Amino acid sequence: MRNKNSVKFIAEVSSNHNRDLKRCLRFIKTAAEIGCDAVKFQLFKIDKLFAPEIVKKNKEIQKRKQWELPVAFLPELAQACKNEGIEFSCTPFYLDAVDELLPYVDFYKIASYELLWDDLLKKCAKTGKPIILSTGMATLKEVEKAVRVLRDSGCEDMSLLHCVSSYPVPVKDCNLAAIKTLADKFNCPVGWSDHTVKENVIWRAVCRWQARIVEFHLDLDGEGEEFKSGHCWLPHKIGAVIKDIRESFTADGTGLKEPAGIELAEREWRADTKDGLRPILKIRK
């Protein structure tokens, strides 16, 4: 069983599913196998994500039509997560998506780019589901307003992720100390949304700044739409990090200063109080 004080790992599939249901299901199975607690998809439609004049003149954005997750996939994805014993989450990028996701998600994830959109925040909050909000690009004042909107709209289970919205993020720009700033200010679980693909950054976020959630972008094989951008982990690499971090939490113990069971036999081989020689007098014969 995972230590209750350990880290919640969320695998972000993003648009690496390639609109292939079998590939989506492989993401879920892989996320469970490498030790994740949840897997997250994104539900968007290009014509509801970007202004029409931008879609019309930007061919790169037009190509993202092929990145859309079919709504028809949702029931099977949610069931697959239940079967694997992990949570299913998805980011809504249009208002109707909140309703489409409601029967299936264990929690909503709100993206950094939507942090200013009060109507989306309110609609997610009113569902009563837990919410994780990413805070990339935001000022503390903007985060404060978003948190107020969520809480005033009924959100009772909220977490925040410190995030740097660049793909990938140089280590020097991570500003991990902001994790503590958010935790102190808002008195809620805070974590790190990783775009670095650097082991040392995740360790630092967890061990130094007490990140209790780590979200990362996952690809299965380097064939996902976003892998070439350089911000996606492959399973064997992030799996090793998750395993090591999980194991590290078992080292904490009870905090009582007393002999460990595995060292009891060695106590008799300490220096004796009378002559300073090993082992103690009573066992020398």
pLDDT tens, position by position, 218-259: 999 999 999 999 999 999 999 999 999 999 999 999 999 999
Neighbouring residues of 209: CB distance < 8 A, sequence distance ≥ 6: 176, 177, 179, 180, 192
Domain that holds residue 179: 8-253
Residue-wise burial string across 93-119, b where 16 or more C-beta atoms lie within 10 A, e elsewhere = beeebbeebeebbbbbbbbbebbebee
**Cβ(133)–Cβ(161) below 8 Å:** yes
pLDDT-derived band of residue 6, with 50, 70 and 90 as boundaries? confident
Q: CB 239: neighbour CB atoms within 10 A? A: 19
Q: Angle of helix 74-84 relative to helix 21-33, nearest 10 degrees?
A: 20
In this structure, the answer to whether residues 167 and 265 fall within a common structural domain is no
The per-residue pLDDT for 243 is 97
In this structure, the answer to whether residues 36 and 63 fall within a common structural domain is yes
**Cβ(168)–Cβ(230) below 8 Å:** yes
The per-residue pLDDT for 58 is 94
Give CA–CA dist 268/282, Å, rounded. 9
pLDDT-derived band of residue 198, with 50, 70 and 90 as boundaries? very high
| Dihedral of the alpha carbons of 161, 166, 170, 173, in degrees to the nearest 10 | -60
CA angle 232, 137, 204 (to 5 degrees): 55
In this structure, the answer to whether residues 232 and 266 fall within a common structural domain is no
| Nearest CA among 130, 111, 124, 131 for reference residue 195 | 111
Instruction: Say which amino acid occupies 84.
Output: E
In this structure, the answer to whether residues 165 and 239 fall within a common structural domain is yes
- Please identify which residue in the block is written with the tokens 């469970």: 32
In a domain, 32, yes or no: yes
In this structure, the answer to whether residues 93 and 74 fall within a common structural domain is yes
In this structure, the answer to whether residues 167 and 119 fall within a common structural domain is yes
In a domain, 3, yes or no: no
**What's the mean pLDDT in 177-197?**
98
In a domain, 1, yes or no: no
**What's the mean pLDDT in 67-81?**
97
Residue 56 has pLDDT above 50, yes or no: yes
Q: How many domains does the chain have?
A: 2
In a domain, 71, yes or no: yes
In this structure, the answer to whether residues 204 and 263 fall within a common structural domain is no
**Cβ(238)–Cβ(36) below 8 Å:** no
What is the per-residue pLDDT across 128-156, written as a single tens digit (0 to 9) for each?
Answer: 999 999 999 999 999 999 999 999 999 99
Residue 177 has pLDDT above 90, yes or no: yes
In this structure, the answer to whether residues 26 and 152 fall within a common structural domain is yes
Q: Record the tokens describing residue 149, joined without a space.
A: 């909107």
